[in-house]
Amino acid sequence: MAQFAQIIVDVPTLQTNRPYDYAIPLVWQDQLQVGIRVVVPFGKGSRQVQGFVVGTSDTPPDYAGELKTIAQVLDLQPVLNTELLALAKWLAQWTFSFQISCMQTMLPSMMKASYTKKVRLTGAATPATAAIFNGQAELDFADLAPETIKQLLKLQRQNLVEVDYQVHDRAKIKTIKAIQPLLSVAEYTAAAAKVPANAKRQHDLLAYLSAHATTTAPLSLPQITAETQLTLAHMHTGADKGWLRIVDLETYRDPYAELATAPRTQPLTLTAEQATAVEQITTAGQQQQAKVFLVEGVTGSGKTEIYLQSIQAAIAKGQTALMLVPEIGLTPQMVTRVKGRFGAHVAVLHSGLSNGERYDEWRRIERGEAQVVVGARSAVFAPLTNLGLIIMDEEHESSYKQDDMPRYHARDVALWRARYHHCPVVLGSATPSLESRSRAQKGVYQLIRLKERANHQPLPEVTVVDMKDELKQTKEDNFSSLLLQELHKRLLHQEQSVLMLNRRGFSSFVMCRDCGFVLKCPNCDISLTLHMDTHSMKCHYCGHEEAIPQVCANCQSRKIRYYGTGTQKVESELKVLLPEARILRMDVDTTRRKGAHAKILRQFGNHQADILLGTQMIAKGLDFPDVTLVGVLNADTALGLPDFRASERTFQLLTQVSGRAGRADKKGEVIVQTYNPEHYAIRLARHHDYEGFYQREMTLRHQAGYPPYYYTILVTASHEEENEAAKKIFQLMNQVKPALSPQAVLLGPTPRAIARVNKRYYYQMVIKYKHEPQLEKILTQIMQENQARNGIQISIDREPLSFI
C-alpha cells in the first residue's frame, strides 16, 4: 500500500530529469505500480500532463508545499518494465537528454499523450463571455481566432474563464465483431422449424450456427460475412431471438498478413566458415556471456543464415531474440526470410507501419506472443523479456544513430541490454565501422571473419572507368561506353542490371545563366531542390515549397537552367540510349507511397524489368540471383564533402553495391565510374580489400586525431538572432574549457556549415578527448541549465556522425 509516487512528467518547457512527488488516491493505493502511465496536475491552474511512475513509497516526501494528487491512471499494467526504466535512466545520462524523451522514444508513438486546451466559463455569464461562448459550455482552444484568444486572456485575468488542459491517450485497441452461438444443435433445429420458409437468411444463419454450435471461441464476423454473406444486421436479428451473442473481439492490425503464409524454410547446411561462427555465438549464449562478436563477412557470405541459426538456438532454449536491420535494409525479402523460418513468432517494427500497426506489434511482443523481433533503430527498445541474443545487421549504417533528442546509437543500447541480460551481441557487416573494427583489434569484441561467398564463387570483378578520359571522347557525362556496352550485353542474355546514382552531397538546383543567381530557401541557408514529380522547388531541411521559377528573381532573365543529375534525368537519358530496356526507378520520389518500395522490388524480382536504377537505397541487402551487372554512375560525389568519414562512406557504399552482383550461379561484374580513380577508397573497393582500407584509414585518422582515436562530442547552440547563438556558444566554451585537461582538443566555435536552418542560426564546437573525468558532469549541467531559455536551444551530441 504505497501512498506516494515519484513521477517523471511530460513538460517540454521545464525539462529536468528529476521526478516529482504526488499523492496516490486511495482507490489506487494497492494497485499503482512503477512503469505505469498517469495523468497529473502540474504547475498553477488546472493544467494536466502525462507522466510515468518511477517509484512509490509509504513515507511522505520531504516537501513543504501541498502535495498534488494523481488525477488519472492510464494503464492497468506497467508499460515500461524494470529493465526499460533502468535503461531510460542510463540513456538520459549517456546522451545528455531527458528521461521523459527516452521513455517516450521507447514506446509506440500512439502511447504518447496528446493534449487539448479547453476554455470554460467559471462564473455567471456576462455580456462579454456570452458573446464569445454563444451558449456553449466550453471552447476548443485550437479553433479560436487570435482576436478571441486576446479577449479570453483578459477574461481569465478577471477569473471569469479558466483554461483546462486535457490529456488524451491515443492508444486505441482495434476490435472486430464476433458472435458466440448460444444453443445446441437440437435447439437450432427446433428454432428453424418455427421460421417461415421464405426467410432465407434466417435459415442460413441457423444452419451456420448449428454447424458451429460446439465451438467455444467466438467466431469472427468478417470471416462469416466473407463465407456466407451474413452480415451484422442478420446477427442482430439472431441476437434478438436469443440464438447468439455479439461480442467485441480484440484483434491485431497485421502489416504482414500476406506473409503469414510465407513458405516455411529449413535451415541450410552451413559452410565451414558459417558453422564456426554459429558455434561460437551459441556457446556464448549457453554460457550466458554478454560477449560481442563482430562478424566481418564479405558480401554474399551468408551472414543472414548465421543470424537465423543463432536465433534458432536461442529460441530452442526458451529465450527471445532481437534482430536489428537498417531502415532501408528492412525489405520484404528480409522479412520473408525471417518469417519463413520462425513463422508467427516474429514481430516486425519499422517506420513504414501505421501507428496502429506499430502499437499492435508492440503489444504482441509485450505479451510474450512474439519471440523474435525484427526491426529498425527504435526496435532496440522492444519489450522482450528473457533476451538470449541481439543481432545488428549492417552495423556500420548511419541510420542506427538518431539525430534528435535522445541522440542515441542503437549499438550502445544493444550493448547495454546484452549486459543486462547476459546474452551475446552479433554485429555484422561486410564493411564494419572503424569504431567496431578497432575494438575487435583490441580484443574488446571477438572478430569472426568470413572470407568466402556462400556459393564459393569469387567476388565480382570491378572495373574502374575514369570519366575524365571518357568526357574527352564523348559528350555523355552519365554513361561511359563500357557501361553501355555491358548493359547491352545483359539485355541480350536476359540478365538483370542494377545502376546506382550516388546522391549524397548532391542535388538538382536551378541557376540563372545570365547572373548566376541560385534560388535559396527563405528560411535556411541552402539552395532549393528541384522536384519534377510535384513540379516544385523544395527545401530538404524545413520543407518549404514554391513553384519552379520561370524568370530569374534577381535579373528577370528567362535563361534559367537546371543543374545536377537526378535519377529522373538519368532515367530519361537511359531510355534514349537503350530504348528496348525496361527500367524501374527507385528513389525517394518513387517510394514515398506506402508499399511502393516493396512493389518495385517485387517487380524486379519477377523480371518485369531489366534495369533497376536507384539511389543508395538499392545498395543494401538485395539478393537477386539474375543480377550480373552493377554499375555505379558517380562514385565520388561524397569524397568532396568536408567530412572526416567521407572516404569510409564511399568505400562502404561501393563495396555494398558491388556485392549485389553474382550472388547465385552466374558470375557478377561491376563497373564504377569516377573522376578520382586513384583515390584509395575507390582503389581498395575495387579489390574488395576491407582490411587494406581499415589499415590505411586508421593511419590517417591517427594522424589527424579523429575517431576512433578520439571520442568526440558536438555542442550546438541555436537562436533566431545570429549574434545570440554566437554569444551562447562562446559562453559555453568558457564554461567547458576550465574543466578539460591539456590532452583534450576543442574545435571551434564556428558557425555550422549550413548556418541557418528553419529561421534559426546554428553555432557549434567539437570536443575531442580520450579521458576527461569532469566532462560528463559539466555537460549534464549545461544541458539542465540551458533548456529553451530566452529562445536559445542547446544540443549535445555524443559521437556525432559528422561535424557538418
Binding-site residues from annotation: 512, 515, 521, 524, 539, 542, 552, 555
Applying the rule CB under 6 A, the residues between 688 and 727 that interact with ligand ATP are none
- Kindly state whether residue 792 participates in binding ligand ATP, applying the rule CB under 6 A: no
**Any bridge partners for residue 500, and if so which?**
614, 632
Task: List, as one string, the DSSP characters of 107-128.
Answer: S-GGGS-EEEEEEEE-SS--HH
Closest CB 787 distance from ligand ATP, rounded Å: 42
Contact 718, 761 (CB under 8 A): yes
The footprint of ligand ATP on this chain (CB under 6 A) covers a number of residues equal to 20
Using the rule CB under 6 A, which residue among 181, 238, 300, 631 binds ligand ATP? 300
Closest CB 619 distance from Zn ion, rounded Å: 28
What does 300 interact with, of ligand ATP, Zn ion, none (CB < 5 to 8 A by kind)? ligand ATP
Closest CB 271 distance from ligand ATP, rounded Å: 5
Using the rule CB under 6 A, which residue among 324, 391, 454, 617 binds ligand ATP? 454
| Sign of the CA dihedral running 305, 306, 307, 313 | positive
Q: Name the residue nearer to ligand ATP (CB basis): 336 or 758.
A: 336
Closest CB 391 distance from ligand ATP, rounded Å: 11
What does 128 interact with, of Zn ion, ligand ATP, none (CB < 5 to 8 A by kind)? none
Question: What CA dihedral angle connects 346, 349, 353 and 357, to 10 degrees?
Answer: 60
Site string for ligand ATP, 604-643 (x = CB under 6 A): -----------------x-x--------------------
Contact 528, 509 (CB under 8 A): yes
- The Cα 286–Cα 312 span in angstroms is 13
Extract the annotated binding site for Zn(2+). 512, 515, 521, 524, 539, 542, 552, 555
Q: Which of 684, 689, 662 is nearest to 453 (CA)?
A: 662
Contact 671, 487 (CB under 8 A): no
Contact 638, 650 (CB under 8 A): yes
- Within 10 Å of residue 6's Cβ, how many Cβ atoms? 18
What does 299 interact with, of ligand ATP, Zn ion, none (CB < 5 to 8 A by kind)? ligand ATP
- Kindly state whether residue 396 participates in binding ligand ATP, applying the rule CB under 6 A: no
Using the rule CB under 5 A, which residue among 133, 541, 709, 730 binds Zn ion? 541
Strand duo 711-719 + 793-798: pairing: antiparallel
- The Cα 521–Cα 721 span in angstroms is 17
Using the rule CB under 5 A, which residue among 313, 512, 612, 672 binds Zn ion? 512
Q: Name the residue nearer to ligand ATP (CB basis): 139 or 454.
A: 454
Using the rule CB under 5 A, which residue among 517, 680, 730, 769 binds Zn ion? 517
Q: Name the residue nearer to ligand ATP (CB basis): 105 or 274.
A: 274
Coil, strand or helix at 796:
strand
User: Residue 34: in which H helix or E strand, if any?
Assistant: none
Closest CB 620 distance from ligand ATP, rounded Å: 7
* φ, ψ of residue 53 in degrees (nearest 5): -75, 120
Coil, strand or helix at 427:
strand
Closest CB 303 distance from ligand ATP, rounded Å: 3
- Kindly state whether residue 433 participates in binding ligand ATP, applying the rule CB under 6 A: no
- The Cα 474–Cα 476 span in angstroms is 5
- The Cα 379–Cα 372 span in angstroms is 11
- Kindly state whether residue 274 participates in binding ligand ATP, applying the rule CB under 6 A: yes
Task: List, as one string, the DSSP characters of 445-486.
Answer: SEEEEE-S-TT-PPPPEEEEEEHHHHHHH-S-SS--HHHHHH
Closest residue to ligand ATP, judged by C-beta, is 302
Q: Which of 718, 714, 719 is nearest to 736 (CA)?
A: 714
Amino acid at 642: P
- Kindly state whether residue 668 participates in binding ligand ATP, applying the rule CB under 6 A: no
Q: Name the residue nearer to ligand ATP (CB basis): 238 or 659.
A: 659
* Helix extents (H) in 9-95: 82-94
What does 310 interact with, of ligand ATP, Zn ion, none (CB < 5 to 8 A by kind)? none
- Within 10 Å of residue 642's Cβ, how many Cβ atoms? 10
- Kindly state whether residue 480 participates in binding ligand ATP, applying the rule CB under 6 A: no
- The Cα 639–Cα 632 span in angstroms is 14
| Residue indicated by cell numbers 467466438 | 218
Closest CB 427 distance from ligand ATP, rounded Å: 13
The footprint of Zn ion on this chain (CB under 5 A) covers a number of residues equal to 15
What does 544 interact with, of ligand ATP, Zn ion, none (CB < 5 to 8 A by kind)? Zn ion
- Kindly state whether residue 268 participates in binding ligand ATP, applying the rule CB under 6 A: yes
Applying the rule CB under 5 A, the residues between 152 and 191 that interact with Zn ion are none
Using the rule CB under 6 A, which residue among 270, 518, 698, 733 binds ligand ATP? 270
Closest CB 699 distance from ligand ATP, rounded Å: 26
- Kindly state whether residue 552 participates in binding Zn ion, applying the rule CB under 5 A: yes
Using the rule CB under 5 A, which residue among 14, 130, 153, 555 binds Zn ion? 555
Using the rule CB under 6 A, which residue among 50, 99, 271, 652 binds ligand ATP? 271
Strand duo 320-324 + 387-393: pairing: parallel
- Angle of helix 200-211 relative to helix 185-194, nearest 10 degrees, comes to 170
What does 274 interact with, of Zn ion, ligand ATP, none (CB < 5 to 8 A by kind)? ligand ATP
Using the rule CB under 5 A, which residue among 447, 542, 548, 588 binds Zn ion? 542
Residue 55 burial (C-beta neighbours within 10 Å; 0-12, 13-18, 19+): middle
What does 515 interact with, of Zn ion, ligand ATP, none (CB < 5 to 8 A by kind)? Zn ion
Q: Name the residue nearer to ligand ATP (CB basis): 220 or 336.
A: 336
- Hey, what long-range contacts does 136-142 have (CB within 8 A, 24 or more apart)? 138/164, 140/116, 141/116, 141/117, 142/116, 142/117
DSSP structural state of residue 643: -
- Angle of helix 410-421 relative to helix 82-94, nearest 10 degrees, comes to 140
Using the rule CB under 6 A, which residue among 181, 659, 708, 749 binds ligand ATP? 659
- Kindly state whether residue 305 participates in binding ligand ATP, applying the rule CB under 6 A: yes
Task: Catalog residues that contact Zn ion under the rule CB under 5 A.
Answer: 512, 514-515, 517, 521, 523-524, 539, 541-542, 544, 552, 554-555, 557
Task: Catalog residues that contact ligand ATP under the rule CB under 6 A.
Answer: 268-271, 274, 297, 299-305, 430, 454-455, 621, 623, 659, 663
